[in-house]
Structure 1
């Protein structure tokens, strides 16, 4: 009998998640138990967990991954206090007879008639011991040819006879090759439940293991939602569902199917009935107390509950004990009660009658107002406001909600503050004397709500509130107040990608400059300067200077700190980062001494930026880590905190600490930053996944590139996105798409839309940048364009962005150069070369990119006669291999040009769609040209690029150019240098788990005849492949390996073939030798020596 499709039929027809989530440890425990059974050792596993937690799904998945084992399933039935005698065993025997006939009973129909009356007369033989022996013998016979797994579901409903039979099988019979798995609901086991003692006794028996199936974490909830929806859900939807379902998979699926979970839709009717059924079974005396508790919240203190209930102490205790025994409430160590599940409380609360609902909440509000100590410290204002609102007492709700909002703001709980202020806005129209009650006007309330909403990161709502406030204000009468609103509007428009916001910021400047000179004006000018410098650095610097001057004349330290920070942002590339760092450190120290945590966060964002730019990636990461902690202290995780976390992740990517960077990106995802604040982490993660060849890269790249469709994207976001777009195309071997994307980004030829004149001989970057700045043009995205300092002709905005943002321009130029090489596009190469001559090249990474581009373009387009790339590296003929953009700018593996002839070898990216580099081979059958002046020149250029990246210190970028250096060295006949470069590149790729790069290293090693140069590390194999390799090294045949690992021989054969290919060996014996060398074998195998491997 095969394992049935669904041990427990679904109770609804709602969509079910198709993924199995978060139970790796439980599956491993079950498989280990089955492994013991295969060695003739009997075993039992008791699987406990609350209803809906996924016990049945766990066993279904276990059965799916237990080939060669036979599964029989029986179900206990709920029939009163004690279930139907022997129900699960009767179900198993009935199914066996139906599928195999009565012969399966081996002539003992009379004894089994005690289980199945339809078999005939019951044996007159006295005692149930005979029946127990017959069941044990039946299981033993069925387990002769294959291990047998007997699953008994819902043991909490088992009768005494069923429990006795199970006890007999475990303690007396101990049938070999039989695994007994029993499930039960922990939330059904009240203190006097008979299963409690039974399980405790079984626990002490030999071979019995307890397995508790707990609730899922937030990530597990997210996976289920993604499976049900068929797409990744929003972070708020995940938070809402996880908060309500509390990790119960069944509840998650039910809520997901009910509509928009983020909108807190009503509990589905079928689920509500299921939840309330247990409440309805309580005695009448206990149900009112549970309703009172439900109005108090998910957790309620005993004193508060007693005050509101107003019952005699004995009656209250009796009712609570009944609810606790029924597993509806849980008594906690702090002297309170908590609903076992939040959805139960929600269902009970929703079931209150309207009058009952209002009265209970009013009693709670009055009780807490009279004695705030009845709730947790600091929670009284919010609790009182909640209960008056729920009681529909609008005047009291208005006043207490505003007071609670003020208290929340003092705790930096900005999301709670915003929610409470929104409630005040809602109540304003319902309370005629609202202004008098609150002591403020409607515009002030709008501004308070706007500030809290903005800080909490709800930018869309903030924009609506801002619009309403601007409509209500008299700008001529209150210019500074209006300037603050225009500033906020400009920042919101830019963050949401609706426009650059510069027009609104200029309005704010005009209003602020006309306002009286005070500390508030100085602070606002600093804020405006910071915002406007993103698009117009010169204007930002001018306004920041005004702010600093005003702050210093007023002696306002806080304003001076913010103005200094803005000056450094605006003067980036006007003043060197090294010089700017001194001022930033001073501002950091001043903010710290003032206790200005928000200023401290801004300082650390700027410091981490500056340190990254000069190549101090470790210092950048350290500063950003401090800033992240500070952001959490003042509740700006979703706004300013998004910047500092992105800086932290970017620095870790550069350092090669990719797992840590990915974890920070995951943390950013959980905070769900709004607008463009949510782009940087997304783009970084997409680059990481692309560089690792992970399937999830496709979705992440798509989500990232979708930002390009917005009306406005700042250059610091747009340029990395364009880089990512090119890298993604190269990663799948689509050179044409990569070139098309590069043309759109940097121009060149018919596809480009504009061409850029090459720099004149003798021009320097700093001179040209200085000349451009002398014209007074900003070069920002918010302007109309830029003027060429030589010709006066207007340069398109895209070029201005590149010139004004070297940090992001160089990765884009490097990716575009690789696209030009991969597509053989000389026009694109010329455009890249020309633009590279106009972009500053001041810091280590920029110099490394310049050297990389020089090496990349020099060989691919020798006829182009490029004299220089950026004036930093000579370019000539010879072998070329495409460099690679730093991971921070959209890391991905990509193709490079074959040496000696410029043929493109594209697509060394994600596993599907790679082009084989060996197809581009040219000379001598090796794919590499012979030596000569051209080949030697290419080697020198790639060696220069390697040295430049060593100086910078980014391991991934270094590994990419090492591959190209190895190819050039092989082309020049220097096999020793090629071997050394490949070994180093392979080691870096293994450390980073950059699988496409690791594959590229292996392919090049084969192509140039250096097969032994690449030493594959253990990480090159999957966990399953390492398991297979260990057994191959022990000399086991495919059949025996399959039996050991529960795989079919055919599947083992596939694994062995993949192992041989990955380890670059020719047979199983060589694979075993590699396993010994890499330390993949257990100490027993190593000590015993290698045995001869069986034939494949």
Structure 2
């Protein structure tokens, strides 16, 4: 029995999020105390709501599972005037309930003295309350804990040490110093934000910090990913809305209690609940009046500079310092030391929600007037804030002052600033704010605003006032659609595009160039959302530009159409189309469009075999894109470069360039693009056999993926990695996730074929060969795929490998012939030696052995640095040698090398196959391989009886139930029962799969 219930909090989140390091530290302390009898003392600090109690709850449950007794006592919020020793009394009472007579025996003869801590023992002994009596009480408590921990581990928890009385602190300090040998873990928690400079706990903590026997843990706030997990757990959803979670993280700043409160009140809009608001305002309302005034003025900012605060407050230096001292001492404001012309010091609220509560408490007129005072102060003295913050701060102040004529120009300045800093989310918010203000600003003022003019190929308005271009509302919509897309908010961007197209439709005479641009943008968004392939939208854009003179929009549409054809239905017209796009973009001076079309053209020309020239061209285009800095082209070239290098067999270079690309995209705020680039690097790492590195990269970037293609790529490679590592249970869900993200783009070869290959591999691993063949047949039906030879070669090589595994020459001849015929019709030869793999596997499928092709393929993959492919080919060569009576020595060398390589990679299924073949051949493959290779009968691994083994042998030979019954002298009904039982044990769904599994594993073949 243990008292874990006493530490339970009214936790809302059903999942325990984060705190892995802290939980590990506490578990290690428990293990040390149990194993060595050395007492452990741990202090756990953190702000209110950060999850101290939840951590202790989880740890207490773990301690109970380990057989420890857990007793908890909490300090009361009474301070020095409260009950002395209250937490120890509560904890000892809990121990008394848990161990009963054992504690009674342990205190025998000392009941009256220990009754001061545990009144349940009876009346306390009368006597002088002097230092000697207190010392004796402390010593008796220490000895009691030592006695109780002789046979078991005890976890003693003291909660809320910041409310502790002096006696409690002194007793705790005595136990830390005097208990030397006990299976005891003492945990004490405290709120770090309540321990102000003169708090009596501060010197006590400092004293304990000097003791080597005490460990101190400080709980940090949750990370964005952990907040996402907590939100998902509370709401019971697998894939929570990204924007909602981001909002909750920003407002809660990762405090778990605030995350819970906001999540529960997040119904349409995530507001502060009354209970949370009241809780937050208690601290503010307890401040002196001067401090409350400063806090209310500071609430207009997340961080406010000292000089700006003084200017707006209109206070003398002494008055301001007095108010700040009270606010800082009350843990409402936190001082920040900052250098610079803005005063060298600044202040922020201890928590964002505390500031939000103060703002909510202001009257509407107060907030408006306060915003105007800040705006006027900053306009009068711009140096009061950092230069990089000036535009955004001024825009915010004027906006909240509700002065549209002042706010709109300021917001436009801030938009330009955020765009330069790649802050696309903030840029989108500002653009929406500009659109909101648009109709509130007089037309004559709007006509003087300069154009934004930052979008690739977007046409200028054409409305002139003198020599100046007028800003058009459509420009705001166009900028907002691009900023939303770059931020990964494609649904939001699609909304802006739809509004733009509706406005153009209502314009007298329309605007063909702008409409074509918006349709092109719509194509990008629809594709990114997985709601179509984008062709209908591009076709509409092509109609609109037909007959128009050359322009950036015209060239951009041609470039996008060429890129679309390259991915979907490449034909002889694709290269001329891309060439025309490059030439037109150069003609009209559209540098970014020229680069975009140039990437497409270089990729198309690379397929003619001019590898070196193409690599040089891609690197040149990358440098130009980075120099221009246009997001779309930077995104595309940095993603395409590692992918292209991998397709040419340069996996190591692909990893290096891909990692550099990830950092570049991250720095530019293109997080979804960085995640897509990471998927390409993962693919290269898998080829290089670096499975652990690949997994880390997947885990790191999966939360940043929002685009359909990005999520598909990450899920696809996660499924491939799980299959190679033997985590078969995870594969189906990952395949389903990839297909779900892909949506209506599921026939795009760059995803459809690799997904089919993974599905085939999974089905074969489960011995579901009929399913694997069905997937292969389904993909073959979609051929030919012009311009997609690299992916088709991948499909053919894996299809031939599947046919070879079946070991059924007569049954797969038609399939094998079809694979050969398809390969013969491909114009492009593969960079990787897939043609050699195809040739060798076709031979194996026909029951033959092509040692030249197998060896040549292995050598080629070895030069590329692909260890998994090399090891699998070594297994195939050894299998063929042993089956054909070849050299056992050579087969042994191949198996030993493959065994070691598979172990280094963590390729569990491959190693198991190697072990099974080596076991049947009695070939040792490693010092740790005895258990894998020594099995005299591989059928035993499936738990088959001797009779079921006989039945499986006959099923593999193609016998019917009646024939099995006749041969084994049993009834047909009994034979049917045996067949059903063995199929269940093998995990197959039919006789064909059972026979295929037996053949694949060569269960009944001599080696």
Q: How does the TM-score come out when normalised to structure 1?
A: 0.74
Q: How far has the Cα of 1:717 moved from its partner?
A: 2.3
Spell out, residue by residue over 1:936-977, the C-alpha distance to the aligned partner (whole angstroms, 9 max, x if none): x26565444433432443222222232333322332343323
In the alignment, does 2:209 pair up with 1:296? no
Which residues of 2 match residues 401-800 of structure 1 at below 5 A?
401-431=411-441, 433=443, 435-436=446-447, 438=449, 439-473=470-504, 478-512=511-545, 514-518=547-551, 521-522=554-555, 525-537=558-570, 538-552=572-586, 560-571=594-605, 573-574=607-608, 576-588=610-622, 591=625, 599=633, 602-632=636-666, 634-639=668-673, 641=674, 643-694=676-727, 696-707=730-741, 709-710=743-744, 713-747=747-781, 798-800=782-784
Q: Which residue of 1 aligns with 2:288?
A: 283
Equivalent position SS for 1:122: coil
Query: Please, which moves more after superposition, 585-594 or 162-171?
Result: 585-594
> Offset of 1:87 from its aligned partner?
0.4
Task: Report whether the alignment pairs 1:1005 with 2:1004.
Answer: no
- Asked if structure 2 preserves the Cα contact closer than 8 Å seen for 1:75 and 1:87, the reply is yes
Aligned to 1:932: none
The residue number in structure 2 matching 1:215 is 221
Q: Specify which of 44, 48, 51 is matched with residue 48 of structure 2.
A: 51
Provide the secondary structure at the position in 1 that maps to 2:618. Answer: helix
Task: Confirm or deny that 1:852 pairs with 2:837.
Answer: yes
Q: CA deviation at 1:265?
A: 0.8
Q: Distance in 2 between matches of 1:971 and 1:82?
A: 88
Instruction: Give the structure 2 partner of residue 790 of structure 1.
Output: none
Matches within 5 A, 1:834-913: 834-840=821-827, 842-845=829-832, 847-848=833-834, 850-860=835-845, 862=846, 877-878=847-848
Q: Distance in 1 between matches of 2:695 and 2:714?
A: 9
Label 1:475 to 1:635 Cα distance change in 2 as closer, same or farther (>3 A): farther
Distance 1:248 1:815, change over 3 A: farther
Q: Distance in 1 between matches of 2:188 and 2:591?
A: 69
1:197 equivalenced with 2:231 (yes/no)? no
Q: 1:148 touches 1:179 (CA, 8 Å); kept in 2? A: yes
The whole-number CA distance in structure 2 between the counterparts of 1:254 and 1:940 is: 68
Q: In terms of mean alpha carbon deviation, does 276-285 or 682-691 score higher? A: 276-285
Partner residue in 2 for 1:231 = 238
Report the Cα offset of residue 90 of structure 1. 0.9
Deviates more, 1:27-36 or 1:334-343: 27-36
Kept in 2, the 8 Å contact 1:705–1:725? The answer is no
1:105 matched to 2:103: no
- Distance across 1 between alignment mates of 2:115 and 2:620: 90
Can you list the C-alpha shifts for 1:107-126, whole angstroms capped at 9, x where unaligned? 43322332344654320233
TM-aligned CA distance change 1:690 to 1:257, over 3 Å = farther
Distance 2:765 2:381 in 1: 65
Quote how far apart the aligned CAs of 1:799 are: 0.9
Indicate conservation of the 8 Å contact 1:169/1:175, yes or no: no
Matches within 5 A, 1:235-254: 235-254=242-261
Residue 126 of structure 2 aligns to a residue in which SS?
coil
How far residue 337 of structure 1 moved from its aligned partner, in angstroms, is: 1.3
**C-alpha contact 2:679 2:710 (8 A) present in aligned 1:** no
* Alpha-carbon distance between aligned partners in 2 of 1:171 and 1:642, rounded to the nearest angstrom: 52
Residues in 2 aligned to 1:180 and 1:313: alpha-carbon distance in whole angstroms: 48
Q: Write out per-residue CA displacement over residues 1031-1067 of structure 1, whole angstroms, 9 at most, x where no aligned residue.
A: xxxxxxxxxxxxxxxxxxxxxxxxxxxxxxxxxxxxx
Name the stretch that deviates more: 972-981 or 323-332: 972-981
SS at 1:480's partner residue?
helix
Equivalence for 1:330: 334
Distance 1:964 1:4, change over 3 A: same
- Partners in 2 of 1:6 and 1:820 — Cα distance? 62
Distance in 1, matches of 2:767 and 2:387, equals 60
CA gap of 1:461–1:171, structure 2 versus 1, over 3 A, is closer
Q: What SS is found at the alignment partner of 1:440?
A: coil
Shift of 1:704: 0.8
Q: Is the 8 A contact 2:17 2:226 kept in 1?
A: no
> Structure 2 matches for 1:359-374, cutoff 5 A?
359-374=369-384
Relative to structure 2, which stretch is displaced further, 502-511 or 816-825?
A: 816-825
Matched residue, 1:981: 894
Cα deviation, residue 150, structure 1: 1.9
More helix by share: 2
Any idea what SS the aligned residue of 1:367 has?
helix
- d(CA) in 1 for partners of 2:474, 2:211: 73
2:4 — aligned with what? 4
How far apart, in 2, do the equivalents of 1:851 and 1:1014 lie?
Answer: 33
For residues 72-83 of structure 1, what are the structure 2 equivalents within 5 Å?
A: 72-80=71-79, 82-83=81-82
Q: 1:952 to 1:128 in 2, by over 3 A?
A: closer
Once the two structures are TM-superposed, the CA of residue 571 in structure 1 deviates from its matched residue by 4.0
Give the whole-Å Cα distance in 2 for the aligned partners of 1:360 and 1:821.
78
User: What is the rounded CA distance, in whole Å, between the counterparts of 1:50 and 1:555 in structure 2?
Assistant: 58
> Is the alpha carbon distance of 1:620 and 1:97 closer, same or farther for their aligned partners in structure 2, counting shifts above 3 Å?
closer
* CA–CA separation in structure 2 for the residues paired with 1:271 and 1:1017: 62
SS of the residue corresponding to residue 379 of structure 1 reads: helix
Q: Cα distance 1:589–1:201, how it changes in 2: closer, same or farther (>3 A)?
A: closer
Q: Could you say what the CA RMSD is over the residues aligned between the two structures, in angstroms?
A: 3.4
| Equivalent of 1:178 in 170, 184, 187 | 184
Please, which moves more after superposition, 334-343 or 209-218?
A: 209-218
Alpha-carbon displacement from aligned partner over 1:401-427 (angstroms, at most 9, x marks no partner): 223212222333222212211222233
- The structural deviation recorded for 1:831 is 4.3
Q: Distance in 2 between matches of 1:593 and 1:51?
A: 48
Say whether the 8 Å CA contact 2:2–2:68 is kept in structure 1.
Answer: no
For residues 704-742 of structure 1, the C-alpha deviation after alignment (integer angstroms, 9 at most, x for no partner) is 122454266532222222223323333444333323322
1:273 maps to 2:286: no
Report if aligned partners of 1:300, 1:336 keep a CA contact under 8 Å in 2. yes
1:978-1016 residue CA offsets vs partner (Å, 9 max, x unmatched): 322222222222222223333333333323322444646
**Structure 2: which 5+ residue stretches go unaligned?**
339-344, 450-469, 934-1007
2:460 corresponding residue in structure 1 = none
CA contact (8 A) 1:979 1:1013 kept: no
Tell which deviates more after alignment, 689-698 or 313-322. Answer: 689-698
Which residue is equivalent to 2:19? 22
1:125 to 121, 124, 127: 127
Report if the CA contact (8 A) 1:422-1:449 is conserved: yes
Q: Residues 592, 358 of structure 1: CA spacing in aligned structure 2 closer, same or farther, 3 A cutoff?
A: closer
The whole-number CA distance in structure 2 between the counterparts of 1:592 and 1:130 is 76
CA contact (8 A) 2:517 2:553 kept: no
Q: In structure 2, what is the equivalent of residue 911 of structure 1? A: none
| Structure 2 counterpart of 1:990 | 903
Q: Summarize the Cα distance change of 1:449–1:182 in structure 2 as closer, same or farther, 3 Å threshold.
A: closer
Contact 1:361–1:391 (CA under 8 A) maintained in structure 2: yes
Cα contact 2:602–2:618 (8 A) shared by 1: yes
Q: State the TM-score, normalizing by the size of structure 2.
A: 0.81
Comparing 21-30 with 126-135, greater Cα deviation is found at 21-30
Tell me by how many angstroms 1:808 deviates.
1.8
How far, CA to CA, are the matches of 1:475 and 1:50 in structure 2? Answer: 61
Distance 2:178 2:90 in 1: 23
Sort the Cα spacing of 1:822 and 1:105 in 2 relative to 1 into closer, same or farther, 3 A: same
Is the 8 Å Cα contact of residues 655 and 953 (structure 1) preserved in structure 2?
A: yes
Q: Counterparts of 1:376 and 1:566 in 2: how far apart (Å)?
A: 43
Instruction: Tell me the number of residue pairs that the alignment of Structure 1 and Structure 2 aligns.
Output: 886
User: CA contact under 8 A between 1:483 and 1:507: conserved in structure 2?
Assistant: yes
Judge conservation of contact 2:4–2:61 (CA < 8 Å) in 1: no
Alpha-carbon distance in structure 1 between the residues aligned to 2:924 and 2:233: 43
What SS class does the counterpart of residue 286 from structure 1 fall into? helix
Alignment check: 8 A CA contact 2:563 2:600 kept? yes
Question: 3-state SS of the aligned residue for 1:378?
Answer: helix
CA contact (8 A) 2:735 2:755 kept: no
